[in-house]
């Protein structure tokens, strides 16, 4: 096996957590929990004041937390209280533990959960 990707759609989240400060803490705790070494963290914020071409429901924050063995990507949708999250690593990790943590931290409910094994 080369690696694993966990893909989560989490609905009914607490969108007050969709900010850079809380998401930075989220990444730190998730990486500690699944034993991943963090590298650079990059954010992009999308709001309709700056990006008039975006439909209102796309307002949110996207971030990539690079890890030594790949990356963790999050997309938040503020007005819909949804998060789309991918964890990909060639280092093994417990996808159940990661999924449970993300659901609890974001105070939502996993609506869709997919694990892809890369060979």
Task: Give the domain ranges of the chain.
Answer: 3-118
Instruction: Give 67-72's long-range contacts (Cβ < 8 A, gap of 24+).
Output: 67/31, 67/36, 67/37, 67/38, 67/39, 68/36, 68/37, 68/38, 68/39, 69/3, 69/36, 69/37, 70/3, 72/27, 72/30, 72/31, 72/36
Q: Tell me which fold the domain 3-118 belongs to.
A: 3.60.90
The tens digit of pLDDT for each residue in 70-112 reads: 999 999 999 999 999 999 999 999 999 999 999 999 999 999 9
The tens digit of pLDDT for each residue in 13-68 reads: 999 999 999 999 999 999 999 999 999 999 998 875 555 566 767 889 999 999 99
Q: Which pLDDT belongs to residue 39?
A: 98
Q: Which pLDDT belongs to residue 110?
A: 98
């Amino acid at each position: 096996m080369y690696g694993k990707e966990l893909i989560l759609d989490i609905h009914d989240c607490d969108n007050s957590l969709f900010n850079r400060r809380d998401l930075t803490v989220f990444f730190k705790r998730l990486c500690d929990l699944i034993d991943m070494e963090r590298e650079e963290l990059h954010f992009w914020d999308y709001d309709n004041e700056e990006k008039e071409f975006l439909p209102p429901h796309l307002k949110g924050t996207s971030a990539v937390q690079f890890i030594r063995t790949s990356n963790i990507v999050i997309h938040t949708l503020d007005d819909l209280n949804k998060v789309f999250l991918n964890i990909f690593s060639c280092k093994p990790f417990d996808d159940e533990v990661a999924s449970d943590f993300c659901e609890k931290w974001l105070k939502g409910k996993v609506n869709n959960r997919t694990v892809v094994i890369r060979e």
